[in-house]
Every structure is written in C-alpha cells, then in structure tokens.
Structure 1
Amino acid sequence: MEMIVLLLLLCAGVRSQESDTLVIGGHIRQFIRSNIKMNWSDAQTYCRTHFTELLTMYNQKDNYTAPTSAPSLELWTGLHRRNSSLWWSNGDPVDFTPWSNAPNTDVPYCATVTTNNNITWETCTLRLPFMCYHKDIGSSYRYILIPEWMSWCGARSYCRQRHTDLAVIRNQSQYDEVMQIKSISPFWIGLKSNGWEWSDGECFDYSFVTDTSRNCTYFLNYNQKNSDIFARDCDGPFEALCYKDLMTVEIIYQKMDWEEALQYCFDNHHGMLTITSLHDQMLVKQKLSSAGLAGHVWVGLRQSRIFGFWMWTSDVPVKWHNWEGGMAPEMPLSYNCGAVDLKGFKWSDQNCLVKRYFVCERRKL
C-alpha cells in the first residue's frame, strides 16, 4: 500500500525545545518529533501538554511530505482503538438499536435511512443528503433534512456549524419521527460504526489498520521513500510525532460571493485562508476532502486590479503557489478572485460574484 507521509527532517530540523526537533512548519501547522521514547498514553499526554496533539492523518493516499536522511523511524500516531465501536456523532451512548450491526467494526461504516425507511450501513465516503438535528430551548429535538450531497464527515461538519449535529435517534419516538420523513434518496444520520478513532477526535472515512488485535498505532518510515501506519500494543516505547496548530482551518457551509466571504471571515474569524507552502496545501486538501464538497471554494487570494499581481488577504505575497496550469492568471483575461478546485485542489481565478462555500482561518491562541 502506497502512502505519501510526513518524512522527517532529521538533520536540518529547527529545535523547538531542548528535547524536541521541529520537523516541518507552515502557516497553518507545525510537526514536531520528540527525542524521548515513551508508551502511547505518555506520548498523547506529552503532545497535548507541549503542543496540540499526536499526529492525525486523513486518508491513505495524501499526507505531508518532506525529505529525510533517516533509514528507519518508528513514531506513535494518534490513531487508537475506541472503547465502543458504535457511537453517535454528538457523543451520546448507543442504547436504542433497532437496526442490524455494521459488517465490520474495524472499517468505517456510517448509517443511512433508505427510501424504504430502513437503517442500513454504507461506506462513509459516499456522498448523500443528510439529516441534522437542532436542539431547541429545553431538550426537544427538531430534525432537518438537508438536500446537499456530502460525505458523512462533511455532513457532520455542516450540521455542527449550522445546527447542532447529525441526527441522533435515542428512543422509539424519535425513530418514528425520522422514519416519517420522506426522501427521494437515502440520507446520512449521525450513527457510525468504527473501532478506531484519532486522539484529537478528527473525522475520517478511511480504514488505516488491518491488525484487529492491537490497540495503538505507529508510523514507520522504513526506507526513506515508503512509510505506513501499523497497529501494535500500546507499551512501545517509541518517540512521539506531535503537531502544533498555528491556525484553525474553518470551512464555512454558507454560500457567498468573494467579497461577502471576505467580510464574514474578518467579522467572525481572523480572515480568509492563506496557503504559504506545500504542507499548508496538503492540510487544506485533507480538510476539504473530508468535507465531501464539490466544485470550488473561495480562499483569500485576490488580484490587484491596477498592477495585476496576486496577494493573500492577509497581505502575504504569493511565493509558493499551486495554480492550475502552473501559471498565475494574468490580466486582462483573468478574474480577480481566487478559489480552490475540490477535485484536483488546484488554484484558479473565478468570477467574484458567484456564491460559493469558502474557507476562513482562525489564529490559535
């Protein structure tokens, strides 16, 4: 299995603390390898105490890349086995279960309501409409069917931002209410079956681990070019691979034109998204991939209408770039607003008046 991963900068790394090596950094996130070996639980505590968390990866194909001179490395990642394989998106226990079990608890499966009003399991990357719930004053739930097509993770993010969470069914009354809602296609609810989770709680749709007898995972770089994640017992000892967030990437599930999006990001966050490196780009790609959207999303790229050069709205010049075709769009044929394509994740100029989803950033304190 091929996986392009974070291969560590061991010789030229910048020291972040006396005992740590700064692996690679960007505008959004830094990665740090500890030089201390410990068990998984201690590694989790270490990363949370000194940085943000143990390493999270979003899928098996796309992760951070960097040159390395190390012949072999074994480092803890944040993926570990859950106490329960069946869980609701909002954290509620699964006590009411009028459905069949998922096919395999070590592979992510998510629950859908079919057009025949049955609850079945699908792979979580499938794009479907979904149902949110809105918790009103008191304890009553109001269910809302959303006709957007997203993956389960994207649907969860949408519901959390616009309502409360994906639909939760805790009793027969709520089950009957959901079953009465008619839809021309199956739709997601907030039930997921997966025996694994990331330490930071990040949503993922992919199966990383095939060994079902172990409870923790480590990252192995075994020949400078190839690497993978493997399961093992949690005693180790291995070094920790931590990350430190400098910015939080916020996907906004409201459609606005570019100027409206810019104003929204400055009013509610710290501005529109800035991408300054390959590592920023890969993190944004992972976030957008898990959102399950299609088309383009606005980011903080704009072109000077006078001089024609491109800038980030954070006033950072565009040095590293990922333009479609390899070249920045030029006047007079270009539009003046920049977006990221959600298929190839290339940058392009787009009509500023078109309403799209967009991405803000929030500075971590």
Structure 2
Amino acid sequence: MTDVVDGNFDGSAWIGLHGDSKSWRWSLEHSDLYGKGASVFRGWWDQPDNTEGRELCVYISMGKWNDFRCDYSLMAVCYDERGNNTEKYVLLKTYMTWTEAREYCREHHTDLASVKNDTENHIISRIVGDDAAWIGLHRTAWSDMSRSPFTFWAEIIDDSRTYRQQNCVVVWYRSSGGWTWETCDRALPFICYSGTSPRMYHLEGDRKSWLDAQKHCREKYTDLATVDNTEDMDRLMHMTSGSYDGFAWIGMYDDLFRSWRWSLEDEVIQGAGEYRNWDSAQDNTGQGEHCVATVYGAWLAFSCKTLIRFICYDDKNGTQSYVLSDQTATWSDAQSYCRQHHTDLASVRSSTDNQMIAHRAGSEIVWIGLYRGRAWSDQSNSSFRHWKSGQPDYAGGNQNCVAASLADSGKWTDHNCLDVLPFFCYSELRGDIAAMKEYHPRRQILL
C-alpha cells in the first residue's frame, strides 16, 4: 500500500478503519476479496489506544496504522476493482473526513482501501509516504465490511491533542504507515482499493498474564485456546493427564472496546446498522452492567442478574412481531425463554423498531437482546460456554479474562487479566490424530 505513493506524499491519509461499538472491521465487506486470514490482517503502530474512547477510524502513515477520530480531515486511499482502472489503490489528496472519504471512494472507485497482508500495506505505504491517509478499517469494521483483524497503529501520537471524537483511522506515512485515530469529520486525503480442523491444545506451565500468554501462544503456536464444543473441552482436559489441577488461561476475554452485540446473531440483524438509543445519562461503564433494558424507548445497561420483564422477537410464523413477557427473569433466563417459545430477545434496528417496543412495553423496564459479550483471542465465533456455577461474577468489575479450573472438570471462571497463571495454547491439527494428545505441562508450577 505504501508503494503506491512512492515518496510523493508524506502526511496522513484515511484508510477504511474506524471505531464503532463492536470490533474493528473493513469498510468493504466482500468475502470473495479475502483469502484465509486476509480479513484479519492489522498493521497497528503501538495502537489502537482509543484515546478517551472516541478513536474509531484508522489512517495509515509510513506503513503503520493509527486509530483516530473519524471527523478529522485527511487524505485517503481508495481501492478500485474496476477492470478499466490500471491503478488498484488510488490516493485522494483532497482532505475529507473518514465518512466523506468512504462515500467518495464508493462513488468513484470501489471502497476505502482494505489491507489484507504486509505486501498490500507496503504498497499503500509507498503511495501515501510519510503523510496520513484514511484506510477502510474502523471499529469494529473496515469501511468495506471485511473482518480483517490486521492492525498497524503508529507508535507515536501527539498527546497534546484531544481525541475524544476520533472514531476513524488514518495511515500516517511520516510514521512508516502506522495507523492513528482521527475524527471522521476531518478532511484528509484517503486511500481506496479495488480487487477482484480440529485444534491441538498445549498447556504451558509458565505463569503469565492473559496478554503475555496470548503473545506467547501466537508466537509459538496459533493462539490461546478457543473451545467450540464439549469434545474440544474434553480433549483440552485430557491433555493435562492429572499433572496439574489449578487455573489456566484460555482465549476468552471481555471485548476490550466494550462492544455491544445482539443476542440474535443473524447477518440481516447485525448488518442493519448500529442503531443505538442510550439514555442521555447512560455512560455504559458501570461495573457488571453487561445487559440492556429499555424504558419509554431509552436504553440503559443493567446487571444481567436483575429480575425484570422482557421483550421477545417472533418471526416463526412468517410474520414479525414483538411479544412482552408476563413474567420477570434475568437476562440469560429471558434469552432462553425467548429462544424456546419465540425467536430470540428483541433486536432493535431502527427508531421505528424502538418506537414499537416502547409502545408495547409502556412504562415497564424490559430486557432487549443487546449485551456486552465476550470474545475469543483468535477472533473466532464459538458460542460454547463451560462456566462454573455462579460464574462469571465480574467481581470488582475488572475480571475480564477467563481461566479453566482443572480441579473442577475444566469449568470456567472469570479472573483479572493481570493474574499470573499457566495457560493453554492451541495449534491447528496436522497429521495423525494421536497428535491431539500433545501438550506441554510445566510440573514445577504451582498456584
């Protein structure tokens, strides 16, 4: 990506990365454009730091990516897949906000540039030089809606600036293409683009924090352990062979960007936009407040254990409707009830949906399907859970990582991510199935 500029520009340019309430993703969400692992490429430069929680878009500069406020004006890099265009990446030297850059790229090219690997990042870096330009990555998405986790944040940012509204990302070519956050309304140049197994688990006995364990696993294996089903969990437990009975990290953690998602994980629902209607006094930072209720149409975060009524969504008979429960329940129990008797807890895609639910609920405080979920280190979508009774309890509001208790059939508990524990890594299974039994315990480690 940096090759395209070839020294002609050394500032910042928009790329397709920006921040929203979920994870980073590409503006151009076209699965045919991304090979295995391509959509998760990141080129961060000591980023993202999401300064003051508002750096939701990405620019590239000197080949490194930075999270930045989406309302700042930068150049941008468009991607162009049209057959009559000889240049795949096009640097726009007109300064635009991230949103304006995305609209321009989509109108005149294909979309803001997605970056699938180091080669493409280098090409765009040469185009932009040491300036900054928007690319298509944003939180949680790239402008083209791809799911690339690749980041390239810049290591150096101007701490004297206020980043509260930085929700879009530029590449800063003066800083090797590193990414930084920028306000989406800022006028900047930008880059567009165009374009045509079972797991093997490894118990590592050296005690590390969750982040250090993640780094170790990614360097030596594939990642911290992801568990898709009971068979995976049984295999993970079998690998210890009774050699250790304490806690060990696995790859589940609370989303570091406090992302909210809907209980009904349907592409039609999830792709309908990021409609939110938080109460004006809601800051979404309360300890243990991971589930959402609505009253008079305004949304508030509550402890998921709160007993209140709830709204189900039902499309089982070909018609879509909202059903108000006549009982109270915790959020999890409400979810189970709605899935058993209807479709799921209510998702709210627009102000029209919100008004319908508000009318149905009246003055009641009721659960809807929005919650702050947990994610896997390897960005997989496994929904399997193996919690110990009473877990997760979010004690102290800072237990955001998950460990398996080997003294309790591998049941999961939430822990402070800075706790030092042994940990499980995994690698993709290759060859003889007997290899699944390979593990690396460190017997001298005791908790």
TM-score bracket, normalised by the shorter chain, equals 0.3 to 0.5
Query: Of the two, which has the highest radius of gyration?
Result: 2
* Superposition TM-score, scaled by structure 2 size: 0.34
Question: Taking structure 1 as the reference length, what is the TM-score of the superposition?
Answer: 0.40
Q: Which has the higher contact order (CA 8 A, sep 6+)?
A: 1
